[in-house]
Amino acid sequence: MGTLFLSGGGNEKQTIILDRMFVNEIDKEKPLLYIPIAMDEADYNDCFNWIRRVFIPLGIENIVLWSSVNNKCMEDLNDFSAIYIGGGNTFMLLKKMKDSKFYRLLRRYINNGGIVYGGSAGAIIFGENIMTCAHLDRNTANVSDFQGMAMIGKYSVWCHFRKNDEILINKFMEDFDSPVIALPEETAIFIKDRETKVVGTEPAYIFTNNGLEIISTGSFTL
């Protein structure tokens, strides 16, 4: 398996530790692919300006935006150092990924050693079930299959976590029978090969049927 950076969805000040770690992992001679399709098309220009503000100061100047993931192949992805999947509406993102079959290509890319950074919605889709977003995102895309890409075992990803979300998380676990990795906006998880590490200034919260485990910065086992 390749490398995943899954962010709780903070701004560039909150994610600076993760962003620097990401930049150190990638080949800076290749362009970075940015996929903002969880957002409305009218916002893509603002999204592009934002990601340039994040990564140009860190030494990544060549960034390519894809406004669609239709009709893509592995050769297209191999041109890039890594993929950054931005936040927005998780339901819309998953629908576009599934309708285009791009999620299959993305899974192959990761399994072949690719590097992917997912922020907020872009992180949630890598979990078992995307209904962790239902308290924040409206299902305007009319998605009925909430199965995510399941790239982190049986765990689902809960972004923008606050401690008063615990009741909602326990209800989610009852409804969907999936443990949860909950990430505050200052927090991310880094997954590479067999290593899983918490990155950021706040801990990650792991909810299972056995209770809650709070993981501070450093490696842990899922």
Question: What is the residue extent of each domain of the chain?
Answer: 3-220
Q: Does residue 190 contact residue 5 with C-beta atoms inside 8 Å? A: yes
Q: Does residue 126 contact residue 149 with C-beta atoms inside 8 Å? A: yes
Q: What is the pLDDT of residue 194?
A: 81
For the whole model, what pTM was predicted? Answer: 0.96
Q: Does residue 94 contact residue 47 with C-beta atoms inside 8 Å? A: no
Per-residue pLDDT of the chain (222 residues; tens, 9 = 90+): 899 999 999 888 999 999 999 999 999 999 999 999 999 999 999 999 999 999 999 999 999 999 999 999 999 999 999 999 999 999 999 999 999 999 999 999 999 999 999 999 999 999 999 999 999 999 999 999 999 999 999 999 999 999 999 999 999 999 999 999 999 999 999 999 889 999 999 999 999 999 999 999 888 887
SS3 of 127-146: CCEHHHHCCCCCCCCCCCCC
Q: What is the pLDDT of residue 128?
A: 98
d(CA 165, CA 87): 19
Tell me the fold of 3-220: Rossmann fold (3.40.50)
Q: What is the pLDDT of residue 134?
A: 98
Using only C-alpha atoms, what is the Rg of the chain? 16
Look at residue 205 and give its three-state secondary structure.
strand
Phi and psi torsions of 14, nearest 5° = -75, -25
